[in-house]
Chain A
Amino acid sequence: ILNVEQSPQSLHVQEGDSTNFTCSFPSSNFYALHWYRWETAKSPEALFVMTLNGDEKKKGRISATLNTKEGYSYLYIKGSQPEDSATYLCAFNSGGGADGLTFGKGTHLIIQP
């Protein structure tokens, strides 16, 4: 069983502040690292899929970095807004890539106005 760890488990951030959280994953047999945003009562939605060591991706105020050699990825949110409140999941994709994703337990982010 692959081990994908996310920290912290939950996070309260003041509106306007920036924040970041971590995903660690096995550094061997790496294919891709995914980030998803999961709002309450909805389904997870993809933010990023990263495949190369050193990858940096950005979507609006959210960005992510990837270090496959040491097995970690960071997700950054700049200038947090209440609508950023959600659970953020990372998922590790090993092998040939067609296999299912192994998800972390998520970081539950609450933005306080």
Chain B
Amino acid sequence: DAGITQSPRHKVTETGTPVTLRCHQTENHRYMYWYRQDPGHGLRLIHYSYGVKDTDKGEVSDGYSVSRSKTEDFLLTLESATSSQTSVYFCATRDRANTEAFFGQGTRLTVV
């Protein structure tokens, strides 16, 4: 298994507060991704990174920002959490562009 750790695993937060989710990998994979998973939807891409300080927006990036200051860490920040951001968030990594993705265990975020 690729060593991908997400923290926290569960979080409840209030509307309007900022929240940061962390993804840490020990595999030295170049590419990292944040997805959200909601009922009735597939995994949807929020943001991704193709190297340190290189990030780009995905399909559902509004309300989220990311940072990657080290190869091993990819942070997802909800600048001002809303109830629509209640979801399960998955981090994934890839070694090269044509290889499989490895997923973290997921973070269940509830915004009340």
Binding site for B on A (CB under 8 A): 1, 4, 31-32, 34, 36, 42-46, 49, 51, 89, 91, 93, 96-106
The docked-state distance in angstroms from the alpha carbon of A104 to that of B44 is 9
Q: Are B98 and A4 in contact (CB under 8 A)?
A: no
Given A98-B31, A99-B48, A34 contacting B42 (CB threshold 8 A)? no
Q: Is the CB of B101 within 8 A of A34?
A: yes
Q: How many residue-residue contacts, CB under 8 A, span A and B? A: 62
Instruction: Provide the bound-state CA to CA distance between A46 and B48, in Å.
Output: 19
Decide yes or no: A49 and B99 within 8 Å by CB, A43-B104, A100-B48 being known contacts: yes
CB of A49 within 8 A of CB of B100, answer yes
A/B interface sample: 6 pairs, CB < 8 A = A46-B101, A51-B98, A100-B58, A101-B45, A102-B45, A104-B42
**Residue from B31, B56, B90, B99 within 8 A of A43 (CB atoms):** B90
A49 pairs with B98, CB closer than 8 A? yes
- Note all chain A residues with C-beta closer than 8 A to B100: 34, 46, 49
Closest to B56 in A: A99
Q: How far is the CA of A1 from the CA of B57 in the complex (A)?
A: 13
B residues 88-112 with Cβ under 8 Å of A? 90, 94, 97-106
Chain B residue nearest to A104 (CB atoms) is B42
The interface residues of chain A lying within 8 Å CB-to-CB of B99 are 49
